[in-house]
Structure 1
Amino acid sequence: METLVNYFETIPSSHRSLILVGGLTFFWLLESGLPLFKFKYNKWQHALPNLFFTMTTIVINFALAFLLLGTADWVKANDFGIINWLPTMPLWLYVLLGVLFLDFFGAYLAHFVEHKVKPLWMVHLVHHTDHKVDTTTANRHHPIESLIRFSFTLLGVFVVGTPIAIVMLYQAMSLIFTQFTHANLKMSKRLDRVLSYVLVSPDMHKIHHHYRLPYTDSNYGNIFSIWDRIFGTYMYMGREKLVYGVDVFPDEKKNTNIGELLKQPFQKYEKPTLSSDIDE
């Protein structure tokens, strides 16, 4: 564990880029061979807007990285934050708790708030208006959302008290998990369900991408599924019933246009409808 911590404490930018590109390539190939849905689409054409937003996310996170580093250094120097106020524990538990709580602030809480505050929901809609969810959908976030998510992660680093090694480990895990859970990948239902008791599984997250409420407002987690189970936001739905997109912006052609997607947060929409086919 100490070796892992030392590695992520000084992880080179080239290695972080390799995790991004390597993960994307791996799940791209895997979902091509074992697809959950046999989409009739040009995979490269579909990926273009998603990769554009991936690049804007990278630029924003890179530009603001000094804030993460500064905050992580400060909490370490001042022994500040939740995991630093707990009794002395083994290193593996310290790291696990750090990643677990960062996942709450940087992923679950950020995601939940985006769905409950209308201006933020309008920004987050860009992620939901993908009608062919695959691994490239993972980082399909409007630049404003990238700023919002970064702010919640920064808050998490401060409140949790995570040193930079745990921050970098969390970000690497978060990236791989979001590529995995968005991948158009067919796993056995039993394995997926068992996995979902602790970690976010592909089927679990894809329920969140169903086009109608209340499924859209469920399963907010990214790495750990326990937050959804603790706060009562977990829902189940048979994968056969999934319909991607969002009912308030149903135009698939517009939802693949980068210009339209950049304008989407500032457009009006009609009140969404509740689905009646709820699975218990």
Structure 2
Amino acid sequence: METVITYFETIAPHHRVLLIAGGLTFFWLIEGGIPLFRFKYNKWKHAIPNLFFNLTLMIINFPLAFLLLNTSDWVVANNFGIINWLPEMPLWLYAFLGVLFLDFFGAYLPHYIEHKVKPLWMIHLVHHTDHKVDTTTANRHHPLESFIRFFFTLIGVFVVGVPIGLVMLYQTISVIATQFSHANIKLPKKVDHTLSYFLVSPDMHKVHHHYVLPYTDSNYGNIFSIWDRLLGTYKKLDTDKIVYGVDVFPDEIENGKIWTLLKQPFQKYQKPTIMPEDK
């Protein structure tokens, strides 16, 4: 574990890009072989706007990494943060708890807030208006949302008190986890269900992309499913009943245009439909 943390302490930018691109390529190939839904679409054409937003995410995050570094150095030097106030523990447990708590502050919490605050929901909407969810949808986030997510991650680093090696490890795991959970892959039901007790599985997260409430407002987790289960936001829905998109923005063609998506947060808010829950 020490070797892993040391590697991520000084990870080169091109290594991070390779890890992100490698995960995307891996799940792209897997979903081509065992798809959950057999979409009738041009996969490359569909990927263009999604990859554009993946690129803007990296462009925004890489220059801001120094803020993470400075914050991390400060909390370590001052023995500040949740995991630094806990009793001494093995390094593997220290690393696990660091990633676990960062997953809450950097992923679950902002995701939950984005769904509850109307202006933030309009920004996050870009992620939900993909009608063919696959691994490229993972980081289809409006540039404004990239700043929001970074801000919450920064808060997480401060509150949790993690060293920079764990921060970089968390961010790498986070990206690969979201590529996995969005991938259009069909796992055996029992495997997916068992996995969902610990991690956010593909079927679990697909429920979050159902086009109407209350399912859209559920399963906010990114790496660990524990936060949804503990905080009462976990829901189940058979995958054959899932319809992707958002009911108030139903135009699939427009929702595939980069310029339209960039303008989407500034459109008039429309109240979503709420459907009865599947029992």
- Match of residue 192 from structure 1: 192
Deviation at 1:89, TM superposition (A): 0.6
1:86 is matched with which residue?
86
The answer to whether the Cα contact below 8 Å between 1:249 and 1:269 also exists between their aligned partners in 2 is no
Alignment of structure 1 residues 240-279 onto 2, 5 Å = 240-276=240-276, 278-279=277-278
SS of the aligned residue for 1:64 comes to helix
Offset at residue 126 of structure 1 (A): 0.2
Rounded to whole Å, the distance in 2 between the matches of 1:240 and 1:120 is 30
Give me the whole-angstrom Cα distance separating, in 2, the residues matched to 1:216 and 1:197: 20
- Superposition pairs for residues 1-280 of structure 1, below 5 Å? 1-276=1-276, 278-280=277-279
Residues 181, 202 of structure 1: 8 Å contact kept = yes
Q: Using the alignment, how far apart are the partners of 1:27 and 1:104 within structure 2?
A: 24
String of CA shifts for 1:31-78, please: whole Å, max 9, x gaps. 001100000000000000000000100000012111011101111111
Cα distance in 2 for partners of 1:270, 1:110 equals: 21
Cα pair 2:198 2:225 within 8 Å, conserved: yes
- Please tell me the residue identity of whatever aligns with 1:98: G
Distance 1:144 1:272 in 2: 22
**1-side partners of 2:3 and 2:166: how far apart?**
13
1:260 and 1:22 map into 2 onto residues whose CA distance is: 29
C-alpha distance in 1, partners of 2:248/2:27? 29
Deviations for 1:199-233, whole angstroms, at most 9, x for unmatched residues? Answer: 00000001000000000000000000000000000
RMSD over aligned Cα atoms = 0.7
What is the deviation of 1:270? 2.6
CA displacement at 1:188 relative to structure 2:
0.6
2:124–2:141: 8 Å Cα contact kept in structure 1?
Answer: yes
Moved over 3 A (4+): none
Query: How many pairs align?
Result: 279
* Cα distance in 1 for residues equivalent to 2:2 and 2:102: 20
Contact 2:118/2:269, CA 8 A, preserved across alignment: no
- Which amino acid is 1:275 matched to? M
Matched position secondary structure for 1:217: coil
Are the equivalent residues in 2 in contact too, given 1:34–1:185 (CA < 8 A)? yes
Give CA-to-partner distance per residue, 1:92-142, whole Å, 9 cap, x none.
Answer: 110000000000000000100000011000000000000000000001000
1-structure distance, mates of 2:31, 2:231: 31
Q: Distance in 1 between matches of 2:118 and 2:278?
A: 26
Equivalent residues of 1:135, 1:180 under 8 A apart: yes
User: TM-score, normalised to structure 1's length?
Assistant: 0.99
**Aligned equivalents of 1:198 and 1:178: distance in 2?**
15
Whole-angstrom CA distance in 1 between matches of 2:230 and 2:119: 26
Q: Show CA shifts across 1:219-274 (max 9, x none).
A: 00000000000000000000000000001111101100000000000001431111
Tell me, in whole angstroms, the C-alpha distance in 2 between the residues paired with 1:13 and 1:146: 18
Deviation string 1:145-194 (CA, Å, 9 cap, x unpaired) is 00000000000000000100000010010010000000000101110000
Q: Write the letter of the residue equivalent to 2:227.
A: W
